[in-house]
Amino acid sequence: MKRINASLVGTAMMLSILSANAESKGDYFNPLQTAIPSLSIAPDARGGGMGDVGAATSADVYSQYWNPSKYATMEDKGGIAISYTPWLRDIVNDIYLAYLVGYYKLDDKQALSASMRYFSYGEINLSDMPGPSGDVISYGTAKPYEFAVDFAYSRALSKYWYASVALRFIYSDLMNGVVDEQAYSAAKAVAADISAFYSRPFDLSDKRVAKLNIGTNISNIGSTASYDDHMTEQFIPTNWRLGINYEFPIDQYNKFSASFDLNKLLVPTTPLESDYIDSDRTYTKEEYEQANKEFKEALEEYHKCSSVKGIFKSFGDSGGFGEEMKEINWSLGGEYSYRDMFMARFGYFHENESKGNRKYFAAGVGFKMKVFEINAAYLFAAKSNAHCPLDNTLRFSLGFNFDGVKKMADNSVAE
């Protein structure tokens, strides 16, 4: 990667993910900003192949990220899976997300699950801009990364309702030490998820059984994060996901499901100087000083806002109902399966132009046996006339079923 001023590394990293293909189109660009944005990246190929839907899809080993409540509906005793996602491959070749997840059913009603994610920003040469002498001051090489580990407990509340809680520890090290004559510390945070899942089958007239699923998950409810020993605090990506899914059996061997998810980051909107100072207006000295004072006060209040207060503030601080609606991302996905062994998937993800402008299609395939399953997904930009850093994103996932592995081992011993 190119040399960049050390003081800008954190901002550049955040914006490279948050504003995938930003165009203002006459509307100011003000995406919601958070620390540790990699927490919002879908880690698995099944959900990724359907346009990042998963709040209400049928349960699988990857449910920890989407909605851990679904684990309580699993019929198998347990499972484990790994995923790998090269990230922003059209720009650099050393950024990636690695993900490990697993679950275990305690009984028919309860399940435990855990996951670990590691996001590498690759290798960055830290240097200062040339001074009057033309010399470039090097601060060495940094290998920034973000790491999170979580545990969840899921339980059936009734015949159709399920719920879960999850606890998460988050660690983000962007600078690997002292750079640019300023000390940057690693950011740490703790968070919790609260989710619910409703799943009800419906008998069709010809003995086929359809299923309606509704799911919701409020994730990363927790502390703020700081990279400068708490001189300033940043919000982590607290997110509310709400989804609906309908599974429809075509016949004995073929099945189709459609899903729709809504997502909203539950963090306040960052105050912009342009909100208080109009560049097209001529100010008197007193008017400018007053407008600048109001901007600084708003920015100070933003950084002092607690994470819990920020959740409630996020529903009404962006300038009206219309602006709040722009902060909601939506995704639509479908999955076709043959004998629950071969799967084909497709989807679409949409984000408003002024809030990040990520718009992309996705496609994926899957193959599932009693012992293992393998999934792959491919993301491509929705706009052919504009370069999107997320274009050509690939995801790979490999999962193993405990029951299948046990049966295979038992058969080997018997032989």
Please give the C-alpha separations between residue 390 and each of 21, 42, 85, 145, 358, in angstroms, as whole numbers.
Answer: 8, 13, 11, 19, 8
Cβ proximity of 77 and 403 under 8 Å: yes
Cβ proximity of 367 and 390 under 8 Å: no
* Reported confidence tier of residue 354, pLDDT bands at 50, 70, 90: confident
Alpha carbon distance 235, 310 (integer Å): 8
* Reported confidence tier of residue 231, pLDDT bands at 50, 70, 90: confident
Cβ proximity of 30 and 76 under 8 Å: no
- Name the average pLDDT for the chain: 85
pLDDT for the residue 18: 45
Cβ proximity of 386 and 21 under 8 Å: yes
| Strand extents, DSSP E, 234-369 | 239-249, 254-265, 328-338, 342-350, 359-368
The residue whose two tokens read 């590691």 is 118
The answer, yes or no, to whether residue 34 has pLDDT greater than 70, is yes
Q: Going by C-beta distance under 8 Å and a sequence separation of 6 or more, which residues neighbour residue 272?
A: 28, 30
Type of residue at 147: F
In this structure, the number of other CB atoms found within 10 A of the CB of residue 131 comes to 9
The answer, yes or no, to whether residue 303 has pLDDT greater than 90, is no
Both tokens of residue 276? 């208080």
Q: What is the pTM (predicted TM-score) of this model? A: 0.88
Q: Please state which of the ranges 16-20, 253-257, 347-351, 382-386 shows the lowest mean pLDDT.
A: 16-20
The residue whose two tokens read 């009603």 is 109
Cβ proximity of 252 and 216 under 8 Å: no
Q: Going by C-beta distance under 8 Å and a sequence separation of 6 or more, which residues neighbour residue 54?
A: 42, 46, 47, 62, 63, 65, 66, 67, 241, 243, 259, 261
pLDDT per position as a tens digit, 150-176: 999 999 999 999 999 999 999 998 876
**Phi/psi of residue 412, each to 5°?**
-65, -40
* Reported confidence tier of residue 333, pLDDT bands at 50, 70, 90: very high
pLDDT for the residue 285: 84
Instruction: Please give the average per-residue pLDDT across 286-315, as a whole number.
Output: 85
pLDDT for the residue 247: 96
Positive or negative CA dihedral for 98, 360, 225, 310? negative
* Reported confidence tier of residue 59, pLDDT bands at 50, 70, 90: very high
Both tokens of residue 86? 């090269």
Please state the domain extents for the chain.
4-268+305-414
Alpha carbon distance 102, 115 (integer Å): 6
pLDDT for the residue 139: 63
Q: Please state which of the ranges 107-111, 201-205, 383-387 shows the lowest mean pLDDT.
A: 383-387
Type of residue at 193: D
CATH class for the domain made up of 4-268+305-414? mainly beta
Alpha carbon distance 148, 292 (integer Å): 38
| Strand extents, DSSP E, 73-144 | 78-86, 96-105, 110-120, 124-127, 138-142
Q: Please state which of the ranges 14-18, 228-232, 257-261 shows the lowest mean pLDDT.
A: 14-18
* Reported confidence tier of residue 308, pLDDT bands at 50, 70, 90: confident
102 three-state secondary structure? strand
| Cα distance between the two ends of the chain | 55
28 three-state secondary structure? coil
pLDDT for the residue 16: 45
Please give the C-alpha separations between residue 199 and each of 52, 64, 73, 148, 175, in angstroms, as whole numbers.
Answer: 20, 17, 9, 29, 45
Q: Please state which of the ranges 16-20, 35-39, 185-189 shows the lowest mean pLDDT.
A: 16-20
Both tokens of residue 273? 């100087």
**Phi/psi of residue 258, each to 5°?**
-125, 140
pLDDT for the residue 307: 84
Cβ proximity of 237 and 265 under 8 Å: yes
* Reported confidence tier of residue 8, pLDDT bands at 50, 70, 90: very low
* Reported confidence tier of residue 411, pLDDT bands at 50, 70, 90: low
Alpha carbon distance 79, 125 (integer Å): 40
Length of the chain: 415
In this structure, the number of other CB atoms found within 10 A of the CB of residue 278 comes to 10
